[in-house]
A = this chain, B = another copy of it.
């Protein structure tokens, strides 16, 4: 039961939609999350405010779509599987280092922080995010881990979600909270520590 009468999506102007998504992404990068306004996005996109309110329920949803559009409508080579050279540690380091590079890219810094904030405060958006962005990437990661299990490089009884959390969570946190330098050394350390575990080796 949609609160507002559903607009006729078939007549939607794709020009306006793309301009809005691009403007939203660019603007949040320029002015930051705190000063990002619907009014500003509309002006930057050369669009009436109503056109934004008609199609997106919240600023967070718009931001989220801007992200989706970027990854979906982009070069789209991105969605490929994780590398599998047979060396699990090396492969994970490769991926985690790439994540670090992306998080440190100033073009993505503000937009990602903005999106993260909206997710933290909006459960509905969080669910959307979980399903449409986190889930697919998480599956790719779990696929790689499953392959490692088949190759005898990963314990059989490990909960793969926990494993993914333990590998990628620390990097995300360090980026969000700036509790320390975020670089490839850290990425490597996390992979090594996670794989080996904290316990001393049996003699």
Contact = CB atoms under 8 A, between A and B. Distances in A.
Contacts of A3: none
A10 interface: no
Given A195-B198, A198-B155, A127 B170 contact: no
Contacts of A123: 178
A104 interface: no
A159 B180 CA distance: 13
Interface residues of A, number: 51
A47 interface: no
Interface of A: 32-34, 113, 116-117, 119-121, 123, 126-127, 129-130, 134, 145, 152-156, 158-159, 161-163, 165-166, 169-170, 172-174, 176-180, 186, 189-190, 193-202
11 contacts: A33-B121, A116-B120, A117-B117, A134-B179, A154-B198, A155-B200, A162-B186, A166-B198, A169-B170, A195-B198, A202-B202
